[in-house]
Structures are given as structure tokens and as C-alpha cells.
A and B are shown apart, each in its own frame.
Chain A
Amino acid sequence: MSNSEQNTNEYRRKFLAQSAAVAGLAIAPGIILNQVAHAKSDSDKATSANRWGMLINTNKCASGCTDCVTACKTENAWGSVDGNTSSETHSSKEQQAQWIRKVTITDKQTGHVQSLPLMCQHCETAPCVDVCPTGASMKREDGIVQVDKHICIGCRYCMMACPYKARSFVHEKLELQKATAPRGIGTVESCNMCAHRVDKDQDPACVEACNKAEHGAMLFGDLKDANSAISRELKKHGGEQIRADLGLNTGVRYQGL
């Protein structure tokens, strides 16, 4: 091989090596981020490395719209959808469960009207978790507050304690529950941020419905991940807690209150 050929080959080798290195450097963050984004497999436990939260923009929440409520009802098989019969056929309206509801607020001074969905706020220091005598009302490592109905004795003290009236008591025998949303007589229940969906890297049903209908009023994500959409939005435009004076550090925040 001549000297110039050897030089060319060396040059080519160096070029290929450098290209490969640059290409590798370009792709690597994508691969690493991909691993972080799809970290939760079925066998992984919920950890405190995450804290799941929601951000609701009341300016984008339309008064008559109940898409989030309908989605929750369908996902968890409570209440009546489209005027059909509720699974709770014997209970009065005041006794029927409501995991999420739309609340209409009118300012007494200004007359300004707002609308927003209200569900369990998944407080960091949840009063319901504090007061439950058996520990059935619990907070998962990743911040989701829920009722362990296996040990719930139905005393309803958590319902007394909740500042948001998020909890409901089941007043009658239920049938045909969803496999992902067990609920039964004599126990207390509430929004659990669709933990069964969150564990599969999906959004809660309410958020998904709001996004599908392109209202864009609800955002879900990891509050502990500074790069998540919700964290970035909170940093940019802020988000308030309902009853912030209680100091509960809720996982659900609202804009435009």
C-alpha cells in the first residue's frame, strides 16, 4: 500500500470513528431519557422518587362541561352516565358516591363566575390519613392518597376530616364492579388518581378525557420531576391550592382561582 493510500485509510478510519462518537453522543440522551420515561414496569413498586400531581386551569374549564366527571364514572363504574341508572339503586342522591364533581363558584363581590372539577386533593399531610383509626386511609409512597378497603371499618371519620368533602361512603350492596376499581358496601372511597392507570404510565381517566376533547384544562405528571410538563407549567405560571391556609401541600393545584 502506498503512503498516500495509508494516509487516506487512516483519515477515513478517524472520520468514521469520530462520526460514530458524535452520533452516539446525539442518540445517547434519547436512549437514557427513554429509559427514565418508561421506568415503571408491573413489578416495580411505587416510590417516593415520584410525586404524582394534577394542575387544573380554571380559565380553560367550561361551565357546562362534565367530561372529566363522565370519564371517571365510566372508568370506575360509579354514578349514572347519560341518565342511565347508577349502580347505587337504593341510595338517595345525598347518599350516592361522587368521586369528582364540577363546582361552580360565584364571587359575591364581583359576580365573576368560575367552574372547576374538585376531587381528592391528594394532600401531602392528608387529614384523612391522620385520623383513620386502622390506617386504611393511606398515602402511597408516590403521593397517591387512597382507602385500603380491606381494613376499612366504615367509621366515616375520614369523611368528617376531609376539608374538600372528597370521600364517599357506600350505602348499599354493589355488583359488577370493575376489576380495576373494587368498591363495596360499608367502606369509604374516593378518587385515587386512577392509580391502576398511573401504574401503567397512563394519565388518570379525567385528564385523558379532557385532553381528548381538546379542552386542555387538566395536566397530570410527576411533581418531583423538574422536566415534566406539569412542573414546568407550575414554575412558569404558578398554581394554587384550595384552602391553602390549611397547609396541606396538595398534589392537585389550580390556576385562575
Chain B
Amino acid sequence: MKKPVFKQIDGNSINYWMLLALLGSFVLAAVGSHFYMEHGGHYVTGMNNQIVWGMPHVFAVFLIVAASGALNIASISSVFGKTAYKPLAPLSTLVALALLAGGLMVLVLDLGRPDRLIVAMTYYNFKSIFAWNMILYNGFFLIVGIYMWTMLQRNLNKYSKVAGMSAFIWRLALTTGTGSIFGFLVARQAYDAAIMAPMFVVMSFSFGLAIFLLIVIATYKWTDRPLGDAIFKRLKNLLGIFVAGVLYFVIAQHLTNLYATEHHGVEAFILRDGGIYTQLFWYGQIILGSLIPLAILYHPATANSRSAISVASIFIVLGGLAQMYVIIIGGQAYPLELFPGKEVTSSFFDGMVNTYSPTIAETLLGLGGIAVALFMIAFAVKVLRFLPESLADEAVDPHHSK
């Protein structure tokens, strides 16, 4: 196979600058939201003592999960030796780092005391999965950074396999840790399940690849670089498998819960009586986020259409956000089971479904995380050689079968 030639994008067109300006304005809006929230306090948000994690966390966790998944393409090439993906490996590491940076930014800016971030980096309670996640996130930057470096600098290429393997193991630990944030909580009916960790891992595969695919399609279209069907088909098929995988885990989780009478309350809430949460689950997560994309990705009428695949990827992203909303906010909306079999009322909103009305500020903060990630990617491909000049079939795999 011909060695791929990496080249920066020109980045001179008016459209490019407008893209940066658009993303930049969302970033500024997020920063503004942060100052607004920090200045007076969280009372300006829709979060309260019942729904303690809201829109910012939906976006942040989504981005963090997608980040580790975006690394998949690089891992497949370095760890599993699939050389067809090698040209896309550097971009994969870039997208992974950018998405994680965006997600962490939102998480940190939402803290009650973000001025104490240095405390969070220096005082560790090692029993806390959250503390472990901080180590995993920082380590991800370091390890994937080194991995990226081994791929971009020619004389270090020989170390890319070891770096890739380390990154692969690390990102699995990271996503397991992120899923365990919820899985380890005994308090709430919607969490406290071992399946959360592996489910988050498969979710990361799906969301990460969907975002990666969208970025590849967009950048190659907007820079008039060839993107051949060979690599495109591989990415598409992979995406289909991951989406099906997520669906499998979701079905397994809910079927298990439906079997146990103890969990019937929360299942009825999510699947039937939860209002917005039920709608987001069925229409957002299942239909829009899983079933329609699967149909598009595999149906012969749409399986070859780039625009259809792009739409499917967007649906997967939207379905992923819906899934995060149902998990994070739906899980908090359902009341704690303090006294099973009894009706509970109090002045502190016990025994009732909690309501959450997100404000513009916290939604903008969440969107700012996506904007930061995309801005970093758009900027990086201009200044460094992340993008192969050509992903046409001959460049990717001269022995491909038509």
C-alpha cells in the first residue's frame, strides 16, 4: 500500500473562517454562561437539590463517552493491525482528545467551586470512582497525546503499536469508569447495575464512530479531497454493528429490570409513565437513535448514499444525547425508594417525581463543549498534518474488491 500523504487543509476560504466564527461564538456563549452561573450561584440554573446533575452533565458525559469511542479507528489500525484504517488513525486521536477536552470543560465549569479544581487534582479519595476518573481523564490526554506523537513524527512510528495498545487499554478503563459513576450508585433505582459499565463502553463505540464519520465526511467534502467507497463502507458497517450492540445492551438492561418486581416502578416510569423521559426513550433513543439508523445503514436503497449515512450518523448522535438525558436526568427524576410499598410526602419533595426545566444558560454551557471540541479539530487540521490528502480507494487499499 502506498504510504498515505498527510497534508494540512488550506483553511483560507471564507467558509472556513465562518465555521470558526460560528463555533467560537458558541464557545463564548458557554464561557458567558459559566460566569453567569458562578457569579450568583447555581440558583440561576434549573438544577436543584432533587435534580443535581442537569443539561451540562448530559452533554459532558456524552462527549466524554464519545471521546473514548472516537479513538476506536486508531486502535483498530494499531492494535488489531487493520491497515486500511491507518490513514485515519491520527485524525482519530485528534477527535478523541478534542471531544474529551470539550466534555471536561463543561464538567469543570459546572462545579460549585471551579476555583478549587486544583484541590480536585491534589486531594484524592481512592475509593471514589470519580477520583479514579480524574486520573483516567488526565492519563488519557497524556497517553493519547503520546500515541498521536508517535504517528505524526516519522522516526517514532515504530512505537505507535505499543502506544496504541496502551491507549486502547486505557480508554476501556476510562469508559468503564465513566459507566461506573452511575453503576456504583446503590441509592437510585435507575442505577446500581453492573451492566452500566459495559453498556457505556459499547455506547462509546457507537457515538464516537458516528461523530468521527460525520467529521470525516464533512472535512473531505469541504476540502474537495477524495473519500473512496472502500474506507467509507468499512466505517459504515462498523457503525451499524456498534449501534446494534448498544441496542442489545439496552434491551438486556430493561428486560432484566422488568423481571424483578423491585424495579417495576422505575421501569414503568421510564418505559410508560415518565412523560418527557418516556418520549425521549422511545422516540429519541430507540427509534431515532437506533432503529432508523440501522435501517438506513443496511437497507440497500440507502446503504450507499453518503447523505443518507450522514443523516443516520446525526440521528445516532441525537439518540445518544436522548439516552444520556434519560439515564442522567430520568434517573434522578424518579424518587428514591425510602419506604417500599408506602406513599411518601415531605417538604423536601420525597416520594414524588422531580421536575427539571433546563435554563438557556446551562444548555449553552453544554453546547459550548461540543463547540470547543469541533473548534479544536477544525483548527488542528489547519496547522498540523492530520488529514490524508486522499482517501480514494487506491490510496487506502489497492487490493480492495469492488
Contact = CB atoms under 8 A, between A and B. Distances in A.
6 contacts: A95-B42, A95-B47, A154-B111, A155-B112, A185-B112, A186-B112
Q: Specify the main secondary structure of chain A where it touches its partner.
A: loop
Which has the most chain B C-beta neighbours within 10 Å: A163, A165, A173?
A: A165
B38 to A, nearest CB: 8
A96 B349 CA distance: 11
A104 B341 CA distance: 13
A237 interface: no
Contacts of B129: 131
A90 B41 contact: yes
B346 A90 contact: no
Interface in A135-189: 135-136, 151-157, 159-165, 167-173, 185-188
Interface string B38-49: 101111000111
A20 B377 CA distance: 92
Interface residues of A, number: 58
Contacts of A136: 123
B116 A162 contact: no
A169 B49 contact: yes
A132 B116 CA distance: 14
A131 B128 contact: yes
B112 A101 contact: no
A133 B42 contact: no
B386 to A, nearest CB: 33
A118 B346 CA distance: 10
A160 B185 contact: yes
B41 A185 contact: yes
Given A153-B119, A169-B112, 13 more contacts: A95-B43, A98-B348, A102-B347, A108-B341, A108-B342, A109-B341, A153-B116, A154-B113, A157-B128, A161-B187, A163-B187, A169-B42, A172-B40
Given A91-B43, A127-B185, A169-B42, A133 B348 contact: no
B269 interface: no
B112 A152 contact: yes
B162 interface: no
A250 to B, nearest CB: 12
A135 B123 contact: yes
Given A97-B49, A165-B350, A171-B42, A153 B187 contact: no
B130 A155 contact: yes
Interface stretch (B279-287, B291-299, B331-339): B331-339
B348 A135 contact: no
B336 A156 contact: no
Interface string A81-116: 000000010111011111001111111110000000
Given A98-B49, A134-B120, A165-B350, A157 B130 contact: yes
Interface of B: 38, 40-43, 47-50, 52-53, 111-114, 116-117, 119-120, 123-125, 127-131, 134, 181, 184-188, 332, 336-339, 341-351, 354
A165 B41 contact: no
A242 interface: yes
Q: Specify the main secondary structure of chain B where it touches its partner.
A: loop
A164 B338 contact: yes
A92 B286 CA distance: 34
B346 A101 contact: yes
A136 B351 CA distance: 28
Given A103-B346, A246-B186, A159 B49 contact: yes
A135 B128 CA distance: 9
8 shortest interchain CB distances as A-B pairs? A154-B112, A186-B112, A94-B48, A172-B41, A163-B187, A135-B125, A171-B43, A133-B130
Interface string A19-52: 0000000000000000000000000000000000
Contacts of A127: 185-187
A88 B128 CA distance: 31
Contacts of B188: 160
Nearest to B335: A165
A27 B19 CA distance: 88
A109 B184 CA distance: 32
A135 B50 CA distance: 22
A101 B43 contact: no
Given A163-B187, A165-B350, A170 B41 contact: yes
Nearest to A114: B342
B125 A133 contact: yes
A101 B348 contact: yes
A172 to B, nearest CB: 4
A243 interface: yes
Contacts of A246: 186
B226 to A, nearest CB: 46
Nearest to B354: A94
Contacts of B343: 105-106, 108
Given A95-B48, A171-B48, A153 B43 contact: no
Contacts of B41: 90-91, 170-173, 185-186
